[in-house]
Chain A
Amino acid sequence: MLLLDSGNFSDNPTPAGDLKTKGLLQAMDRLEYQVVNVGERDIRMGYAEFTRRTADTPFQYISANIVDRKTKQPIFPPHAVVDAVSSDGKTSVRVGVIGIVRYNPTFLKSGPNGNIVIAHPRERVQAEMLALSKKNVDVVVLLAGLNKSDAKVIAGEVPGIDFVLGSYGGMVTAAEETAGNATILYCGNRGQRIGETRVFFTDDTKQELESRTNMLHVLTRHYPPDLGMLEFVNSIRREPPKPAVTQGGS
């Protein structure tokens, strides 16, 4: 099993919002998310603040197109390679995961060594597909924090992407959509839904997909709560927000 997030997990940068963001990341940790794409919301306070907020989380944060303004090199690992083992332990699938956000020429934030900007995602995806082609991956997933139509253009023009898993402005994929060889799946926003995809290969070589089942679960109260997780969420609600940390003040 592989749990992925396409980014923009952060609430507003207020004391109450910070508490929710921290609680959400802790909950994702408990669920054992593995790879998280960095969204624009997540890095809007700059790189130093991002690393402070995410310091205690074990996820692989990736972004192929949040780059240093001068060097044009990604400031996060642009992709991740994960060996996902099936629940019966019989199959291990090597998954390459690339993360991108929408192209935003007005984005300019402080980075680890100067300012950072957002590069055009298509070129960056092409570069990372080339890198992944040397890493013997069975499946390529593109985590997309951009408009579905833009994601379709990229998936149609860059061969080799198997799944585009995205979120943007509440867009959902009601019926299966494809571009190139990729299946496009958008799961909405605000934690209202969770996407599920089950992949079956024709044989052990994992060269060809036999079938895939895509579902989008609407997380209403009809789903019974996990008691441990419910208690954890309640503990977050009880925690009083801490005052915002101001820099440079006395």
Chain B
Amino acid sequence: MTRASIRMLLGLLALAALSLTLAQRKPQPAPASPAGPDPASARRSLIAAGETPDLFLLYTGDVIGYLDPCG
């Protein structure tokens, strides 16, 4: 393999890597507006990012029928 062909091969590899990177960065299409509640999605969205704990507790109490954000 000549030095020129090696340079061409490296150039192609770099181009392929760049294309792959751009493809990964390409914004994904926004999901369609849900037709109904997606409980699994709602549940996952409750958890902020961070180290995965062994146990994750979420708790409420004395809600007395309040459905809307207070105030």
Q: Which residues of A contact B (CB under 8 A)?
A: 1-12, 17, 20-21, 23-24, 27, 29-32, 37, 39, 41, 84, 86-88, 90-91, 93, 95, 139, 141, 143, 145, 163, 165-170, 185-201, 206, 213, 219-221, 223, 226-229, 231-233, 236-237
Contacts of B68 in A (CB 8 A): 191, 233
Contacts of A190 in B (CB 8 A): 62-64, 66, 70
Q: Which 3 A-B pairs have the closest CB atoms?
A: A11-B65, A167-B61, A6-B61
CB distance from B65 to the nearest CB of A (A): 3
CB distance from A136 to the nearest CB of B (A): 15
In Å, the complex CA distance between A10 and B63 comes to: 7
- A1→B61 contact, CB < 8 A: no
In Å, the complex CA distance between A20 and B67 comes to: 7
- A165→B52 contact, CB < 8 A: no
Contacts of B64 in A (CB 8 A): 8-11, 41, 189-190
Scan residues 8-56 of chain B and give those whose CB is less than 8 A from a CB of chain A. Answer: 33-34, 36-39, 41-43, 45-47, 50-56
In the assembled complex, 18 residue pairs joining A and B whose CB atoms fall closer than 8 Å, in A order, are A3-B58, A4-B57, A5-B59, A7-B61, A24-B66, A93-B55, A189-B61, A189-B63, A191-B67, A195-B60, A200-B53, A200-B54, A213-B53, A220-B71, A226-B37, A228-B36, A228-B42, A232-B37
- A9→B65 contact, CB < 8 A: yes
- B57→A197 contact, CB < 8 A: yes
- B34→A194 contact, CB < 8 A: no
- A5-B65 CB under 8 A given contacts A31-B42, A86-B55: no
